[in-house]
Amino acid sequence: MELSRAVSMDYLREVSIEARRNVMKMITHAQAGHVGGALSCMDILVALYFEVMRVDPARPRWEDRDRFVLSKGHASVALYAVLAERGFFPKRDLMTFDQIGSRLQGHVDMTKTPGVDMSTGSLGHGLSAAAGMALGGKLASKDFRVHALLGDGELQEGQVWEAVMFAAGRRLDNLTAIIDYNKLQLYGAVAEMLPIEPLLMKWQAFGWHTMEVDGHDMAQIIGSLRRAAMEKDRPTVIVAHTVKGKGVSFMERKVEWHAKPPTHKECERALAELREA
């Protein structure tokens, strides 16, 4: 059953803006959460959940659904905003983010939130679990795809490369990794702290099919995800060039907005900018 709808790029862009607005509101309300890295991966999540992935919000545990692993689990707010927009749970729940007893934890928890396929929060784990899911799909002769989103700083974790080698070794062509390449991590620039370049060559050397896109260009994101699905015998990585804090001018490319909650005033400014966008 094909559940994805053919939707216009304009509509997807509107969804992205609405989800970004909700991210601002959630983080400001909770005075907690990781804003920069949520805004940088938002367009990718919208493309996945509104165009590319086969999902059914009414059946979050549907066996044949495509899977998504948010390996950079601190970007939880982005995923919550998109899942709510897609109808996995009511939007009013968003404002419970990070409260005691809420289903929306600071880092994503699959035992609590409908639509979350894997619990994450400690960096470097997600691709291994995604590879296991993809292998499971093959073993069960299922045709679902698995997507994993990783941070660029996260690539410094050794476990990531164990999973990279494993996925290629097992020819997991039903697996797509997406790198949110926003060039910043928690304490500074990735290139200064521990360079990860040449990035495409690394993945190629490990046997992956590689692509490079503008991570804020919907058409490019969707095109690359579709092409990944046609690749045979090897997994695909999409290196998506993004801007940390994307959409809010005073947050863009600023390392201090990794996890700083905005004041109410700053939130108003951000919402106004997002309204105009």
Ligand X SMILES: Cc1ncc(C[n+]2csc(CCOP(=O)(O)OP(=O)(O)O)c2C)c(N)n1
With vertex at residue 271, the alpha carbon angle to CA 269 and CA 275, rounded to the nearest 5 degrees, is 120
- Given a contact cutoff of 8 angstroms between Cβ atoms, the answer to whether 37 and 89 are in contact is no
Helix axis angle, 126-139 relative to 158-169, nearest 10°?
20
CB of 188 to another protein, least distance (A): 8
Q: Which residues bind ligand X (CB under 6 A)?
A: 34, 36-37, 40, 72, 74, 122-124, 151-154, 180, 182, 184-186, 244
In the block, which residue shows the tokens 């994993």?
A: 148
- Residue 51 or 154 having the CB closest to ligand X: 154
Across the beta sheet with 175-181, the strand order is 67-70, 146-151, 175-181, 236-241, 209-214
Q: Which two three-digit tokens encode residue 74?
A: 């601190």
Q: Quick one: what does residue 81 bind among another protein, ligand X, none, with the CB cut-off 5 to 8 Å set by partner type? A: none
Closest CA to 238 of 226, 248, 246: 226
Q: Quick one: what does residue 21 bind among ligand X, another protein, none, with the CB cut-off 5 to 8 Å set by partner type? A: none
Q: Which residues bind another protein (CB under 8 A)?
A: 30, 32, 73, 98-102, 105-107, 109, 119-124, 153-154, 156-158, 185-187, 190, 193-194
Q: Quick one: what does residue 51 bind among another protein, ligand X, none, with the CB cut-off 5 to 8 Å set by partner type? A: none
- Residue 153 or 262 having the CB closest to ligand X: 153
In the block, which residue shows the tokens 């940088």?
A: 40
- Residue 114 or 121 having the CB closest to another protein: 121
CB of 264 to another protein, least distance (A): 19
In the block, which residue shows the tokens 């007893």?
A: 101
- Residues 141, 139: Cα–Cα separation, whole Å: 5
Fill in the amino acid letter for 29: H
In the block, which residue shows the tokens 């689990």?
A: 73
Q: Quick one: what does residue 126 bind among another protein, ligand X, none, with the CB cut-off 5 to 8 Å set by partner type? A: none
CB of 183 to ligand X, least distance (A): 8
CB of 186 to ligand X, least distance (A): 4
CB of 73 to another protein, least distance (A): 7
